[in-house]
Structure 1
Amino acid sequence: MIEPAADPSRAPRPAHFEPVRIAVDAERSVSALLQVPPEARSCFVFAHGAGAGMTHPFIAAVADGLTDRGIATLRYQFPYLERGSKRVDPPAVAHATVRAAVAEAARRLPGLALVAGGKSFGGRMTSQAQALEPLPGVSGIAFLGFPLHPAGKPGDERAAHLAQVTLPMLFLQGTRDELADVELTRRVIVALGSRATVAWFDDADHSFHVPAKSGRTDADVRAALLDTLAGWIGDVTG
């Protein structure tokens, strides 16, 4: 029996992938990568952590995983990494970069709902920017490992600004995260009330790595994280 030829019109369309440049101010611009799957209805404006940029395997895997779940991403660099520096930008520069990235996503994807956030430092800079002045068009903020305090120095001062964030917030946290004591993090989230949602990943560290004895792989954790993030984005963007 001869099988009928496949209908090209029914073949899955590939995601749009585009390197872009974002102007932060008259003196600075940063690199970014835009990924837009077919039929996307929302976009995650995604900032990297302090130690690694937007092409780090974890950041890339999250962007790819959201693409697979029908969510666009705009991931971008902070200026210090563009310069090749290891010292993070002053908050004002980081906040301006977050705002520029959100504005670029809105300009390029005018029909899509926006959520912003990021890994560690990137998520914290996003929420600080929102606390100072609302990010236009953003429906919620997601933290992939909120860095509540330096390793070995428990405290909650870094969360003080979250009281001024009125948007829904999602905290994706590992129970072995050295930058987020579990009990302190729980107290912070409880104090935020209904605005805050948390998902705990047992045995995961700040990089969402789990030891072999946990019975799971990093890929297992990442898949669960992506399912949670995608579901929450769907909820807050309608």
Structure 2
Amino acid sequence: MDATRQVVPVTIDHPTVPHVDAIVDLPAAAWTSIVLLHGAGGSATHPWMEGAARGLVGEGVAVLRASFPNAQAGKRQPERAPSAIATWHAVMDAAKGLLPHLPWAGGKSFGGRMAAAAVAAGMPATGLLYLGYPLHPPGKPEPLREEHLRDIALPQRFLQGTNDAFQSGDALDRLVAQLPDARIDWVAGGDHSFLVAGGDRDPARVAEALGPRIAALLR
């Protein structure tokens, strides 16, 4: 590990379980901060999340990543929306004393979608970052999961693979064009975890390599 990087495990109070586990990753000098929550079936310590944190810290971004209660308990089913939104509020509230800036709210797939729901319901954040936004279930292009995005006045940033089964056609481009402060960066050939056919299949390395692209979106 980079000697200038601090990795600190923490616990965060939660309204429905005793606590959720989180990890704070701090570079030597951070210019912005982000809270990252995982996708369905993941966790804060999933290799993809570990890699994403390394890549962001390497770009000078302070990171707090946390697990939803179901993931922490070892359950595979996604968190129900009310619990996921409560988790977002709890983690962002704790981030005030753990990160050096009002953070961006970012998430892999489901984690990003629930960040949007929490911000639309009043959760403060600098902006939103979606890493593989699940615009619709695979093979079911309607209805689109866009209801909360249109209610958000904060900056919204999307990183999306062109071969992501959770989006299709030009629907996401059209949505981003209609939002007040939004940008999208397309990863050519990337699937929902940004893996590219014929490329590196290690999720941690793939996520870490996205660090410069994510940092560019945040800037």
TM-score scaled to structure 2, two decimals? 0.91
Partner residue, 2:107: 118
One of 33, 38, 42 as aligned partner of 2:23? 33
Partner residue, 1:49: 39
Instruction: Say whether residues 1:78 and 2:68 are aligned partners.
Output: yes
* Deviation for aligned residue 1:124: 0.3
* Deviation by residue 1:53-104 (Cα, 9 ceiling, x = unmatched): 1111111111001111111100000011122222222211101101111111
Q: Alpha carbons of 1:146 and 1:83: their partners in 2 closer, same or farther (altered >3 Å)?
A: same
Q: Alpha carbons of 1:52 and 1:26: their partners in 2 closer, same or farther (altered >3 Å)?
A: closer
4+ aligned runs moved over 2 Å, structure 1: 216-225
* Deviation by residue 1:27-60 (Cα, 9 ceiling, x = unmatched): 4411111111111132110000002111111111
Q: One-letter code of the match for 1:124?
A: R
SS at match of 2:22: strand
Is the Cα–Cα contact under 8 Å of residues 56 and 63 in structure 2 kept in the other structure? yes
One of 203, 206, 212 as aligned partner of 2:192? 206
Q: Which structure carries more relative contact order (alpha carbon 8 Å, separation 6+)?
A: 2
Is the Cα–Cα contact under 8 Å of residues 53 and 208 in structure 2 kept in the other structure? no
- Among all aligned residue pairs of Structure 1 and Structure 2, give the percentage whose two residues are the same amino acid: 36
Partner residue, 1:5: none
Q: One-letter code of the match for 1:83?
A: A
Q: One-letter code of the match for 1:170?
A: R
Distance 2:191 2:93 in 1: 32
Distance 1:132 1:23 in 2: 20
* Deviation by residue 1:173-197 (Cα, 9 ceiling, x = unmatched): 10100011131211211221x4110
Is the Cα–Cα contact under 8 Å of residues 41 and 71 in structure 2 kept in the other structure? no
SS at match of 2:50: helix
Instruction: Say whether residues 1:160 and 2:147 are aligned partners.
Output: yes
The structure whose residues are more often helix, as a share, is 1
Q: Alpha carbons of 1:46 and 1:223: their partners in 2 closer, same or farther (altered >3 Å)?
A: closer
Is the Cα–Cα contact under 8 Å of residues 28 and 79 in structure 1 kept in the other structure? no
- Which runs of no fewer than 5 residues in structure 2 stay unpaired? none
Q: One-letter code of the match for 2:137?
A: P
Aligned length: 216
Partner residue, 1:226: 211
Distance 2:69 2:57 in 1: 25
Partner residue, 1:16: 6
SS at match of 2:148: helix
C-alpha RMSD of matched pairs (Å): 1.9
Larger Rg over CA atoms: 1
Partner residue, 2:89: 99
Q: Alpha carbons of 1:84 and 1:26: their partners in 2 closer, same or farther (altered >3 Å)?
A: closer
Distance 1:64 1:224 in 2: 9
TM-score scaled to structure 1, two decimals? 0.84
Is the Cα–Cα contact under 8 Å of residues 161 and 194 in structure 2 kept in the other structure? yes
